Amino acid sequence: MRYSVPVPDYISETERKWSSMEDQAIIALFLERSERGITALISKYGRAVTKIIGNILADPLDAEECANDTYLGVWNSIPPVIPKSLGSYCCGIARNQALSRYQFSTAQKRNSHFDAALDELEDTLPALGTVESELEAKELAGCISKFLEGLPYDDRYAFLRRYYYADSITDIAQALGKTPHRISVRLFRIRENLRKYLRKEGMLP
Amino acid sequence: MSRNQIIDVLNKLDPALVEECAEYRLPSERNGMKKLNKRRMTAMILAACLVVALAVTAYATGAIQSLIGKYWSQYSYTTPDDALREERPDYAAWLDEQLETQSMMLAVGEKSVQTRVDYPIPSLKGAGVTLLEYYYDGEKIALACQFHAPEQPVDFDFDPSAYPNLPFEALKPGGYPDYRSMVKDETSLRAIEERLQKQGRVSFLVYESHMSDGVYAEGENLAPCGDLDENGIFTVDPIATGLNGGLIPEKCRNLEEITVSLTYRVSVYAYQLEADTVQYAAVGRMDFPVSFTVPNLDPASIPAKWSPESDFTESIDVTQRVRGTSLTIHAPVPAVSEQQFHSLGNVTMESDVQLWEKMGRELLVERYPQLEAELSSGNTDIFLSAPEPYRPLLCFSCSATGVGRLYYDDYLRDLGGRNLDEAETHGLPHYLTSIVPDGMDMTGEEAAQTVAELLSNYSCFQFTPWNVQANFDSEKQQGYYYILLQPEYQGIPVYETIPNAYYSNQGLFASQGLMMLKETGWEPLSSSLSLEQAVASVVNNIPEASFCDSIQCDIVRLGYVKQEQEGAVTLTPAWVFECSGTQSGQEYIHYFNIYVSLETGKLGYIYNMDLVWMDPA
């Protein structure tokens, strides 16, 4: 059964309080199976969820359904899961939901920020070949994580926001206080360095 | 690697990293960065204001009217968002970066060249890319281009029945990819509506075009393509291409010209509209490579061609009037072997005490054995007097801590007197007297040759006559030659060090300026300027370097320019233009050399007795 979450047109005074509610308090509502937990979650993280989904899916109808699926996912998983950071847990579910939907899509066009981001990675890492097994994917991901750990925070932030959270270049630029063009150049340099790093680590021929 | 595989890998990234970037964290939240002190903040704000002022001035004077300069001027501290950053603890670091970047961009913007080169896309009317501006100096590249979408993005000639295998699928209302989001022109949209109304159904292709991300040169991925502005203008980014400490790929550096390739990408979609239903299918994607070749704006960065392969096969002939100065270069191409040319490097030297000792022993002790006791290792100056009548006998000075310059004078054999040659030959380059003064039994050329061989024994240089004049001491009724010598190091002439020698039938009796040096280091050149580049540089810069109305150059050589600094000598390889010039209102002729550094392309000349290097314009 699909749990449909009513998205409030306005935020009441109470909800405004919820939006500043501590994660632990929201999780407590989930643990009590109180539907107020959902409203509080949407008040606090609804915008972030909508954004990450919108980054990946261009179709607003798809995005809305996906947001509902995300809240349902959180509702169904807490308990037993008690996330350390509710925000990133919620965004993670939103991303996965959006990606599942994205992978069903047959459109081959650059239809979203995510497509554009993948285009960049495809253009930059064409020689990676195929990662057939789960293990290979894990090994490669581990290698990229190690590379990211070594980057300055702003570079790491830009990379992950672009390729994991599928943010637009403009959004990243705004967050980092730089021009969009500068960010696109920075990402280009990071991709080039990643390629060199992977080659050094034997992940690339 | 497929997209799904990329997504799969991204999903497996370290969750801690992902969580860390869920929201932007200020440096203070990350590592407890201290807040700026007030003085530092004030200094940074003042610096920011200065940059704004500089940028405004640069605009006012037209220095950054270029698209590249204009685009990058946004780095200046001007926007409200930037102002808000003052609140942030990382403001100083941020502003430092902005200042540095902006000054670099202003420099590029000033030097970029405006042009208009169209690259149309075949078969798509109106589609293409126009190169509007470029900058390439061998190490940095910047391009500003304009993207042109197809004039007719909708093609009604499409017949779906001819493509039975196209995977059409229904498009939900408002769903993606809606042709309305791709077809921007009203005429095409109206034509679709009209055909739909008239015929009840309509089929068409839509050409959606954009620039691909990658920009390539010499087979290397050079930089990303920038975003289009509202006029379709975009830049190939100079930050990725050489500025901010980055280097462009080695293959792209220091070329005479560089071909930069971009990709104009066209995705084709087929649509079928009938009543309220819309079906679409992705037909395919076409990539059109777009290439622009731009010249290197900094000739000095281009490695030299070997002269015999150059445009100047036998002689250099240039006659040009530049900003009021008339310049004529008419000179044979210098005869330098390919091996010599490629073995040139920057040579460092220091004084050689052993040469001084050798010279002291051979020129002094052998002639005056009683002076043996006065010569000892480590002495660098000797001033000897004969016992009777207490007048100076010899003066021999050579500083070991300096650059080892000789001052030798044997007073017992000293001669003085008048010069027998015409006054205008004094100091005239490459003058060889034809006069044999009384009391001499050899020609000036023979005397110069003898002296050159003699001094070569006490120097790491070899010598050739540079100016030889005949003299006569009327008191002693004895003729002699005054000889100026051009040193050579390993066959390459060395400039700005001309020792002299006085030679009579009794041999060498005085010499000044001989440098007693030994090589202590050699470094290869990072680049070598070709003869053509050097000539072009002189032509372009001579008004800056000269004080003459008319300049004549009839000798061009490849030489070393000697520079002294803090007790060390450096020999810098350079193209040497031996010039003479006249100035209106003055009767005499100036003789001077212009040096063009083989490595840096800088122009060198003597100003107030000092060698001065200047950057070419």
SS3 A28: helix
Question: How confident is the model over B294-323, as a mean pLDDT?
Answer: 69
Q: Which residue has the tokens 């979450």?
A: A5
C-alpha A125/C-alpha A119 separation (Å) is 10
Nearest to A141 among B13, B25, B75 (CB): B13
Question: According to the model, what pLDDT value does residue B50 have?
Answer: 47
Please name the helix (run of DSSP H) or strand (run of DSSP E) that holds residue B187, with its range, or none.
Answer: helix B186-199
Query: What is the tens place of the pLDDT at every residue in B197-217?
Result: 888 888 998 888 888 877 888
Question: According to the model, what pLDDT value does residue B177 have?
Answer: 64
B77: closest CA among A175, A172, A155, A178?
A: A178
Question: According to the model, what pLDDT value does residue B324 have?
Answer: 72
The verdict on B22 touching A (C-beta cutoff 8 Å) is yes
Question: According to the model, what pLDDT value does residue B440 have?
Answer: 92
Could you tell me if B494 and B562 are in contact, meaning their C-beta atoms sit under 8 angstroms apart?
yes
Cβ–Cβ contacts within 10 Å for residue B186, how many?
A: 8
Query: What is the tens place of the pLDDT at every residue in B497-511?
Result: 788 899 999 899 888
Could you tell me if B239 and B74 are in contact, meaning their C-beta atoms sit under 8 angstroms apart?
no
Cβ–Cβ contacts within 10 Å for residue A132, how many?
A: 9
C-alpha A117/C-alpha B382 separation (Å) is 79
Residue B239 to residue A185, Cβ atoms within 8 A:
yes
The two three-digit tokens of residue B203, written as one number? 């089929």
B594: closest CA among B585, B604, B607?
A: B604
Residues of A174-183 as b/e, b for ≥16 C-beta within 10 angstroms? ebbbbbbbbb
CA–CA distances in Å: residue B275 to residues A171, B192, B198, B199: 39, 12, 11, 10
Q: Does residue A51 surpass a pLDDT of 60?
A: yes
Q: Rg of the Cα trace of chain A?
A: 19
Residue A88 to residue B176, Cβ atoms within 8 A:
no
B328: closest CA among B340, B317, B342, B312?
A: B317
C-alpha B351/C-alpha B378 separation (Å) is 12
Cβ–Cβ contacts within 10 Å for residue A79, how many?
A: 10
Total residues found in chain B within this entry: 617
What percentage of chain B reaches a pLDDT higher than 90?
12
User: Greater confidence, A146 or B69?
Assistant: A146
CA distance A120 to chain B (A): 7
Question: According to the model, what pLDDT value does residue B376 have?
Answer: 57
Q: Does residue A205 surpass a pLDDT of 90?
A: no
Could you tell me if B117 and B83 are in contact, meaning their C-beta atoms sit under 8 angstroms apart?
no
Residue B290 DSSP label: E
Tell me, rounded to whole angstroms, the distance of Cα B69 from its chain centroid: 21
Question: According to the model, what pLDDT value does residue B411 have?
Answer: 73
User: Greater confidence, B431 or B6?
Assistant: B431
Nearest to A109 among B6, B20, B282 (CB): B282
Q: Does residue A6 surpass a pLDDT of 50?
A: no
Please name the helix (run of DSSP H) or strand (run of DSSP E) that holds residue B500, with its range, or none.
Answer: strand B500-504
Question: How confident is the model over A45-64, as a mean pLDDT?
Answer: 78
Question: According to the model, what pLDDT value does residue B48 have?
Answer: 44
Please name the helix (run of DSSP H) or strand (run of DSSP E) that holds residue A73, with its range, or none.
Answer: helix A60-77
Q: Rg of the Cα trace of chain B?
A: 37
Question: How confident is the model over B341-366, as a mean pLDDT?
Answer: 82
Residue A164 to residue B4, Cβ atoms within 8 A:
no
The verdict on A99 touching B (C-beta cutoff 8 Å) is yes
User: Greater confidence, B598 or B543?
Assistant: B598
C-alpha B106/C-alpha B69 separation (Å) is 6
Query: What is the tens place of the pLDDT at every residue in B226-244?
Result: 777 777 888 776 555 555 5
SS3 B406: strand
Total residues found in chain A within this entry: 205
Could you tell me if A145 and A167 are in contact, meaning their C-beta atoms sit under 8 angstroms apart?
no
User: Greater confidence, A100 or B401?
Assistant: A100
Q: Hey, what CATH topology would domain A13-104 get?
A: Rna Polymerase Sigma Factor; Chain: A (1.10.1740)
Residue B213 to residue A118, Cβ atoms within 8 A:
no
pLDDT-derived band at B60 (thresholds 50, 70, 90) equals very low
What percentage of chain B reaches a pLDDT higher than 70?
74
Highest mean pLDDT among A168-182, B35-49, B365-379, B481-495: B481-495
Q: How many residue pairs from chains A and B have C-beta atoms closer than 8 A? A: 152
Cβ within 8 Å of residue B193, ≥6 positions away:
none
pLDDT-derived band at B449 (thresholds 50, 70, 90) equals very high
Nearest CA in chain B to A52: B22
pLDDT-derived band at B559 (thresholds 50, 70, 90) equals very high
CA–CA distances in Å: residue A128 to residues A42, A136, B39, B476: 39, 11, 51, 92
Lowest-pLDDT choice from A176-185, B35-44, B540-549: B35-44
Lowest-pLDDT choice from B69-73, B372-376, B561-565: B69-73
**Burial grade of B49 (CB within 10 A; 0-12, 13-18, 19 or more):** exposed
Q: What is the mean pLDDT of chain A?
A: 72
C-alpha A109/C-alpha B176 separation (Å) is 9
C-alpha B451/C-alpha B354 separation (Å) is 20
Could you tell me if A100 and A73 are in contact, meaning their C-beta atoms sit under 8 angstroms apart?
no
CA distance A167 to chain B (A): 11
Q: What is the mean pLDDT of chain B?
A: 77
Query: What is the tens place of the pLDDT at every residue in B324-343?
Result: 778 888 888 887 777 777 77
Strands (E), B275-391: 277-295, 315-322, 325-332, 345-351, 381-385
Q: Does residue B88 surpass a pLDDT of 50?
A: yes
C-alpha B241/C-alpha B224 separation (Å) is 10
pTM over 0.80: no
Nearest to B239 among A85, A137, A182 (CB): A182
CA distance B606 to chain A (A): 45
Question: Any idea what the Cα angle at residue B66 is, between residues B64 and B67, rounded to 5°?
Answer: 120
Nearest to A163 among B10, B12, B174 (CB): B10
pLDDT-derived band at A165 (thresholds 50, 70, 90) equals confident
User: Greater confidence, B396 or A41?
Assistant: A41
Query: What is the tens place of the pLDDT at every residue in A28-40?
Result: 888 777 777 788 7
The verdict on B38 touching A (C-beta cutoff 8 Å) is no
pLDDT-derived band at B124 (thresholds 50, 70, 90) equals confident
ipTM of the predicted structure? 0.71
User: Greater confidence, A14 or A23?
Assistant: A23
Question: According to the model, what pLDDT value does residue B463 have?
Answer: 93
CB interface of A with B, residues 18-77, below 8 Å: 48, 58-61
Q: Does residue B168 surpass a pLDDT of 80?
A: yes
Q: Hey, what CATH topology would domain A113-200 get?
A: Arc Repressor Mutant, subunit A (1.10.10)
| Residue B67, amino acid | L
SS3 B404: coil
Question: According to the model, what pLDDT value does residue B390 have?
Answer: 41
pLDDT-derived band at B453 (thresholds 50, 70, 90) equals very high
Please name the helix (run of DSSP H) or strand (run of DSSP E) that holds residue A27, with its range, or none.
Answer: helix A23-31
Cross-strand partners of B350: B518
CA–CA distances in Å: residue A116 to residues A119, B182, B554: 5, 16, 62
Residue A169 to residue B227, Cβ atoms within 8 A:
yes
Question: How confident is the model over B423-432, as a mean pLDDT?
Answer: 80
The verdict on B180 touching A (C-beta cutoff 8 Å) is no
Domain ranges in chain A are 13-104, 113-200
Number of alpha helices (DSSP H) and beta strands (DSSP E) in chain A: 10, 0
Cβ within 8 Å of residue A51, ≥6 positions away:
A167
Question: According to the model, what pLDDT value does residue A3 have?
Answer: 30
Cβ–Cβ contacts within 10 Å for residue A143, how many?
A: 18
pLDDT-derived band at B471 (thresholds 50, 70, 90) equals very high
